[in-house]
């Protein structure tokens, strides 16, 4: 690991602070009327997902952690968590439920995902902006409600529940945003 001064720290970098890993989410440069420039960072913990602010002066420094991203295949869930396989080495490893969290609602078995590693230890799953999943349960549309912005609950093949328009039915494939679980559209095969 290397120390890096505040002006060199950019969004997307990982910092080690008090033994924990944090991802830099936002970075603001503030120049007050008097005194030295300040840097305001918003950090997200890679362990818990919680966010915290950090304020640094121009001459302050922090430990930068180097992360490695690998393409991995999600195989199955067991008592130890979610089991992935590195697509290059074929090595299997479990990813703790606390680390994977709600993200696993977007990943189907045998699909690929980017997994971020720190010192050969998996720390997070990185999702694309949207995913396509099949609807396995959906309420029936009520006649007359299909032309408006009325939504209903639908269960996807991963078990996650989302709101979809009334015209979506069982067997449809839908595009879902991984940022907020919002319906993006129906996908035709």
- pLDDT value at residue 53: 94
CA geometry: angle 136, 139, 143, nearest 5 deg: 135
- To which H or E segment does residue 70 belong? strand 68-78
CA geometry: angle 35, 37, 41, nearest 5 deg: 135
- pLDDT value at residue 31: 87
- pLDDT value at residue 90: 92
Q: Is the pTM of this model over 0.85?
A: no
For the stretch 87-127, pLDDT in tens is 999 999 988 877 777 788 888 888 888 888 888 888 888 88
- pLDDT value at residue 98: 72
- pLDDT value at residue 12: 81
Contacts for 121 with CB less than 8 Å, ≥ 6 apart: none
Residues (pLDDT < 70) of the chain are: 1, 142-148, 189
- Please tell me whether residue 100 adopts helix, strand or coil conformation: helix
- In order of their start, the domains of the chain are 2-65 (2.30.30.30), 68-126 (2.40.50.140), 130-187 (2.40.50.140)
CA geometry: angle 160, 161, 163, nearest 5 deg: 140
Give the residue among 189, 188, 144 at the shortest CA–CA distance from 166: 144
State the Cα–Cα distance between residues 175 and 134, nearest whole angstrom. 9
Question: String of b and e for 114-128 (b: at least 16 CB within 10 Å)?
Answer: ebbbbeeebbbbebe
């Amino acid at each position: 690991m290397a120390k890096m001064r505040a002006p060199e720290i950019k969004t997307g970098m990982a910092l080690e602070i008090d033994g924990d890993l944090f991802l830099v989410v936002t970075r603001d440069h503030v120049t007050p009327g008097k005194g030295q420039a300040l840097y305001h960072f918003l950090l997200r913990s890679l362990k818990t997902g919680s966010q915290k602010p950090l304020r640094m002066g121009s001459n302050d420094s922090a430990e930068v952690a180097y992360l490695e991203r690998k393409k991995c295949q999600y195989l199955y869930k067991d008592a130890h968590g979610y089991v992935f396989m590195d697509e290059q080495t074929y090595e299997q490893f479990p990813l703790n439920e606390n680390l994977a969290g709600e993200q696993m609602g977007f990943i189907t078995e045998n699909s690929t995902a980017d997994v971020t590693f720190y010192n050969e230890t998996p720390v997070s799953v990185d999702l694309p902006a949207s995913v396509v999943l099949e609807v396995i349960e959906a309420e029936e549309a009520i006649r007359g409600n299909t032309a408006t912005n009325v939504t209903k609950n639908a269960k996807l093949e991963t078990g996650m529940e989302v709101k979809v328009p009334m015209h979506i039915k069982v067997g449809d494939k839908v595009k879902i945003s991984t940022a907020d679980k919002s319906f993006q559209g129906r996908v035709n095969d």
